[in-house]
C-alpha cells in the first residue's frame, strides 16, 4: 500500500490550488499576510477593532495593550460551525504559543504564528479557514464579525490544496485490552470498509491506539460504511460511516465507541488570605479541613488540606455526579472555628459529570466581591407536582457562573429556595442574566424553549445597600409577551381528513391563554419558504381538500394572553413532515426514533435511525446548516456546539419521504 503524506499532495500534478475566496470573503476587520497563505505557512493575522461588531452588553476592544484570540482551524469537509482544532483564549497553542495579539497603536492588533504548529492538527489535514472571536482576556469585552441580524464568529479563509482522498483511522483498544477482550500479541485489528475490503491497523507507539491509512480506492464525495474487526469474525456492534473528501479524513475512536471514562475529580480550593489579615488563621500553626456529607461529617473530617503556598488550600474529592452534598470548611478540624458558626447554613455542591475546580473564600469573606442573595418560591411547582422537595433540587445558572449548574439553592423551610453568591466587584453596575433550573437540567429550567432570562444589576454594597432578588419559579415581573413552542402539524395528511395544529402556550407573567390566533398555509418547499395562506383556514383544525395534494401544510399560531401588556406574542409555525397524499415515513418507524437532549448544547443524539438515509438541520429561515448521510447506522451523533442559540428543525429523510422535528439550541 502506498504511503500518503501532505508533502506528496503538494507534488501531485493533478491537484488544484483553490483560493479561499471561493468559500468566503476575508472579513473587513481581518487581514492576513501573506494573502495567499495556507495553514502550513507562517502568517501575521491583524484584527481591526474599529471594524468589528461588539455584542450587546459587552465592551469594545478599543485602546487596549493586547487582546486574546479564541480560535480554531476548520477542516475541509466538516459541517459548518466551529473548527475541529481549537485553542481557547486562556490556553496555549500546541507549540506553547499564547493566543495574544499585541497593539499596533491604531486600534489594530497582530499575532504572527504558524497555524499547523499552533493548532496541532495532523499533517496532511486540509484546513480551509480559521474561525475566531477576540476578547480582552475574559468575555466582558468582545470583537466579532458583522453578520445579518447581529454579531457572529469570524470566518478567516486560507488558501488550501485539495488532493486525493485519504482516510486515517486511529482506534483506541486500551479498554478492550484491560478487559482481556483483545490480546495485543496474538490478536489483529482491522478496519473493514464496504467495497474496499480490510486494512490492518498497527500499534506502532505501543500505547493501545492502533493506526492505519487508507489511500487507495476512495472516491471524493462518496459515502462509505465501515467497522473495526478483531481477527476474522469479531466485529464492532456499531456501524460507522464517513464521506471521502479531497484530502484527509481523520477518525479517532474507541472500539464500539466505548471509552475508558476517568472518574471525575472535584477540586475544592479555599482562600484564607482575608482570615490571615483578620487574625483568624495562622498559616504556620493552623490548618484547614473540610467536613460534609461526602465524608460523614467525620472527626477529624478530611484531614489537613494541601497547602498550595499562597494562603490557599486544596482537596480532591470523588463526588457522585448529580448528587447534592452539604459541607463546611473548618480551622484545625474544630466546629468552634468552622465557617458560618452558630448554626449558619451549610455550603452545597452538586457532584459534576466531569472534573471541575471550584474556588471558595473561607466564611465567604472576600473584599473583592459583593454578596448577592437570590430567592425563588417553589410552592406553585410543588402544588403542580413539578418539583418534589424530597428528591429534587434547585440550582441557578447565569453570567456570573458561566451558566453552570454548581450553585445549589437550599430550602429555608417554607419552600423558598435561596443561595448567596459572591460576585466580582468588577460586575458592579453591570446587568447579569440568569435562570433557575430543576435538577440542573435545561429541559426543566424556567421559561422553556427560548423564554426570557432573568436579570439583576449588581450594586455596590458599601453603605448598606443589599443585592437581593426574589421571585416565583417560571414567573417574571417584567412585562413579557406570551409565546408558543413545540408547534406541530398532526394527523393523517390525506384529502378528507383533518389536520390539527398543536402547541404549548407559555406566559412568563403567569397570564392564562386567551383566544390565540391560527392560520394555515400550503407550500411546495419542505421549509415552507413559499407558503401561501389558505383563505378562511383560521381554526386549530383544517379539513384537507384535493387541491392540497402534493403540498406541505404549514400551521401558524399567534399566542394571545387573556390579560396583560403585551398580550400578543410572535407567530410560530410548524411545517408538515411530508406532503399531503404522501405516505411519509412509517409511523411505527418514526415512533422509535429518539432525539435528545432538547434543548441541546453540544451534541444531539439521534437513535433508531438505521432506515433513515439522511439527517439535516435547518434554521428557522429554511437554510440548511448541517447535513449527515446515514449508511445504515442505528445511532447518529451530530455536533451542535458551534451553531447559535435558537430554534432549528431536524429533518429526517427516507427515499422521497421526510419528517421534521423542532429542537432548541441553548
The Cα-based distances of 439 to 325, 388, 394, 395, 452 in angstroms read: 13, 10, 6, 7, 19
Answer whether 0.95 is exceeded by the pTM. Answer: no
Nearest C-alpha neighbor of 643 from the set 659, 627, 660:
627
Residue 454: helix, strand or coil by DSSP?
A: strand
Q: What confidence tens digit (pLDDT) does each residue in 332-353 have? A: 999 999 998 877 778 888 887 7
Q: Give the count of beta carbons closer than 10 Å to the beta carbon of residue 610.
A: 15
Q: Which fold does the domain 266-364 belong to in CATH?
A: Immunoglobulin-like (2.60.40)
Grid coordinates representing 68? 486574546
Segment (H or E) for 590 = helix 587-591
Backbone dihedral region of 89: left (phi > 0), alpha (psi from -120 to 50 degrees) or beta?
Answer: alpha
Average pLDDT over residues 238-263: 83
**Cis upstream peptide for 599 (omega within 30°):** yes
pLDDT at 3 (0 to 100): 30
Report the C-alpha gap between 63 and 265 in whole angstroms: 41
Task: State the pLDDT at residue 247.
Answer: 76
Note the pLDDT tens digit of each residue in 523-582.
988 778 899 999 999 999 999 999 999 899 999 999 999 998 889 998 999 888 778 876
Cα dist. 122→74, 174, 201, 248, 250 in Å?
13, 22, 18, 9, 8
Mean pLDDT over 493-497 rounds to 89
Beta strand 248-254 with 145-147 is unpaired
Share of the chain above pLDDT 70, in %: 91
Query: Which pLDDT score is estimated for 110?
Result: 96
Q: What does the pLDDT look like over 580-609, one tens digit per residue? A: 876 444 444 555 677 877 778 778 888 877
Q: Is the pLDDT of residue 477 over 90?
A: no
Measured distance CA(522)–CA(447) in Å, rounded: 31
CATH for the 369-472 domain, from 2.60.40.10, 3.40.1440.10, 3.20.20.70, 2.30.30.90: 2.60.40.10
State the average pLDDT for the chain. 85
Angstrom distances, CA of residue 27 to CA of 13, 45, 80, 89, 160: 32, 12, 17, 20, 18
Q: Are 370 and 423 in contact (CB under 8 A)?
A: yes
pLDDT at 185: 94
pLDDT at residue 251, as a whole number: 87
pLDDT of residue 189: 97
Domain 588-665 coded CATH 1.10.1060.10: no
Give the pLDDT confidence score for residue 592 in this predicted structure. 64
Tell me the DSSP string of 287-307. Answer: -EEEEETTTTT-SSTT-SPEE
- Alpha-carbon distance of 548 to 544, in angstroms, equals 7
Please list the alpha-helical segments (H only) found in 103-217.
Answer: 115-119, 174-178
**Residue 25 backbone dihedrals phi, psi, to 5 degrees:** -85, 155
Q: What is the pLDDT averaged over residues 226-236?
A: 93
- Report the pLDDT value the prediction gives residue 1, as an integer from 0 to 100: 32
- pLDDT over 50 (residue 9): no
pLDDT tens for 343-399 read: 777 888 888 777 888 889 999 888 889 999 999 999 999 998 999 998 888 999 988
Residue boundaries of the structural domains of the chain: 6-162, 166-257, 266-364, 369-472, 483-575, 588-665
Q: At residue 2, does pLDDT exceed 70?
A: no
Give the homologous superfamily in CATH for domain 166-257.
Immunoglobulins (2.60.40.10)
Q: Which of 2-16, 190-204, 287-301, 642-656 has the weakest average pLDDT?
A: 2-16
Which fold, 483-575? Immunoglobulin-like (2.60.40)
DSSP state of 5: -
543: its cell numbers: 379539513
In this prediction, residue 571 carries a pLDDT of: 92
Buried b / exposed e along 588-605 (16+ C-beta atoms within 10 A): ebbeebebebbbbeeebe
Same fold? 483-575, 588-665: yes
496 or 622: which carries more pLDDT confidence? 496
pLDDT of residue 22: 36
Amino acid at each position: 500500500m502506498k504511503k500518503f503524506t501532505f508533502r506528496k499532495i503538494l507534488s501531485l500534478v493533478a491537484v488544484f490550488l483553490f483560493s479561499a475566496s471561493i468559500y468566503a470573503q476575508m472579513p473587513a476587520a481581518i487581514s492576513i499576510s501573506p494573502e495567499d497563505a495556507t495553514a502550513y505557512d507562517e502568517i501575521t493575522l491583524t484584527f481591526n477593532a474599529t471594524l468589528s461588531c461588539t455584542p450587546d452588553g459587552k465592551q469594545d476592544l478599543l485602546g487596549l495593550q493586547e487582546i486574546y484570540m479564541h480560535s480554531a482551524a476548520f477542516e475541509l469537509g466538516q459541517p459548518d460551525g466551529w473548527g475541529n482544532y481549537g485553542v481557547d483564549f486562556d490556553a496555549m497553542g500546541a507549540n506553547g504559543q499564547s493566543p495574544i495579539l499585541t497593539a499596533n497603536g491604531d486600534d489594530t492588533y497582530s499575532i504572527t504564528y504558524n497555524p499547523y504548529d499552533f493548532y496541532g492538527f495532523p499533517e496532511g489535514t486540509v484546513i480551509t479557514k480559521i474561525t475566531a472571536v477576540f476578547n480582552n482576556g475574559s468575555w466582558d469585552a468582545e470583537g466579532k464579525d458583522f453578520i445579518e441580524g447581529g454579531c457572529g464568529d469570524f470566518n478567516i479563509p486560507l488558501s488550501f490544496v485539495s488532493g486525493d482522498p485519504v482516510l486515517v483511522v486511529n482506534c483506541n483498544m486500551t479498554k478492550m485490552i484491560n478487559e482481556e477482550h483483545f490480546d495485543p500479541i496474538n490478536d489483529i485489528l482491522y478496519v473493514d470498509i464496504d467495497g474496499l475490503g480490510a486494512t490492518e491497523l498497527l500499534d506502532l507507539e505501543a500505547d493501545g491506539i492502533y493506526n492505519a491509512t487508507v489511500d487507495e480506492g476512495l472516491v471524493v464525495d462518496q459515502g462509505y460504511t465501515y467497522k473495526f474487526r478483531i481477527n476474522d469474525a469479531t466485529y464492532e456492534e456499531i456501524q460507522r460511516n464517513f464521506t471521502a473528501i479531497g484530502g484527509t479524513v481523520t477518525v479517532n475512536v474507541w472500539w464500539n465507541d466505548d471509552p475508558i471514562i476517568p472518574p471525575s475529580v472535584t477540586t475544592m480550593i479555599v482562600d484564607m488570605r482575608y482570615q490571615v489579615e483578620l487574625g483568624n488563621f495562622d498559616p504556620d500553626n493552623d490548618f484547614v479541613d473540610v467536613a460534609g456529607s461526602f465524608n460523614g461529617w467525620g472527626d477529624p473530617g478530611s484531614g489537613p488540606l494541601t497547602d498550595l503556598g499562597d494562603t490557599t488550600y486544596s482537596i480532591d474529592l470523588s463526588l457522585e455526579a448529580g448528587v447534592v452534598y452539604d459541607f463546611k470548611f473548618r480551622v484545625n478540624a474544630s466546629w468552634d472555628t468552622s465557617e458560618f458558626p452558630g448554626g449558619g447554613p451549610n455550603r452545597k455542591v452538586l457532584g459534576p459529570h466531569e472534573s471541575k475546580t471550584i474556588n471558595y473564600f473561607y466564611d465567604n469573606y472576600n473584599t473583592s466581591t459583593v454578596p448577592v442573595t437570590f430567592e425563588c418560591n417553589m410552592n406553585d411547582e410543588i402544588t403542580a407536582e413539578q418539583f418534589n422537595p424530597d428528591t429534587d433540587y434547585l440550582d441557578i445558572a447565569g453570567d456570573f457562573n458561566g451558566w453552570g449548574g454548581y450553585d445549589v439553592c437550599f430550602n429555608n423551610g417554607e419552600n423558598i429556595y435561596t443561595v448567596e453568591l459572591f460576585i466580582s466587584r468588577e460586575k458592579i453596575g453591570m446587568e447579569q442574566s440568569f435562570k433557575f433550573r430543576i435538577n440542573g437540567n435545561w429541559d426543566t429550567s424556567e421559561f422553556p424553549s427560548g423564554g426570557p432570562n432573568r436579570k439583576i444589576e449588581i450594586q455596590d454594597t458599601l453603605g448598606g445597600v443589599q443585592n437581593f432578588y426574589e421571585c416565583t419559579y417560571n414567573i417574571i415581573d417584567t412585562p413579557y409577551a406570551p409565546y408558543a413552542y413545540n408547534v406541530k402539524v398532526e394527523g393523517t395528511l390525506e384529502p378528507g381528513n383533518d389536520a390539527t395544529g398543536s402547541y404549548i402556550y407559555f406566559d412568563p407573567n403567569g397570564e392564562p391563554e386567551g383566544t390565540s390566533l391560527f392560520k394555515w398555509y400550503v407550500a411546495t418547499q419542505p421549509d415552507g419558504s413559499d407558503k401561501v395562506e389558505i383563505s378562511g383556514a383560521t381554526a386549530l383544525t383544517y379539513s384537507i381538500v384535493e387541491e392540497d395534494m402534493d403540498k406541505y401544510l404549514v400551521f401558524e399560531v399567534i399566542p394571545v394572553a387573556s390579560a396583560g401588556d403585551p398580550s400578543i406574542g410572535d407567530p410560530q409555525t410548524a411545517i408538515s413532515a411530508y406532503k399531503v397524499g404522501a405516505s411519509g415515513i412509517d409511523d411505527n418507524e418514526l415512533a422509535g426514533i429518539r432525539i435528545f437532549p432538547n434543548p441541546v448544547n453540544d451534541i444531539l443524539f439521534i437513535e433508531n435511525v438505521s432506515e433513515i438515509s439522511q439527517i439535516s438541520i435547518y434554521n428557522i429561515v429554511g437554510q440548511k446548516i448541517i447535513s449527515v448521510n446515514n449508511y445504515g447506522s442505528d445511532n447518529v451523533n451530530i455536533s451542535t456546539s458551534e451553531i447559535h442559540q435558537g430554534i432549528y428543525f431536524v429533518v429526517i429523510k427516507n427515499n422521497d419521504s421526510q419528517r421534521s422535528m423542532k429542537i432548541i439550541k441553548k
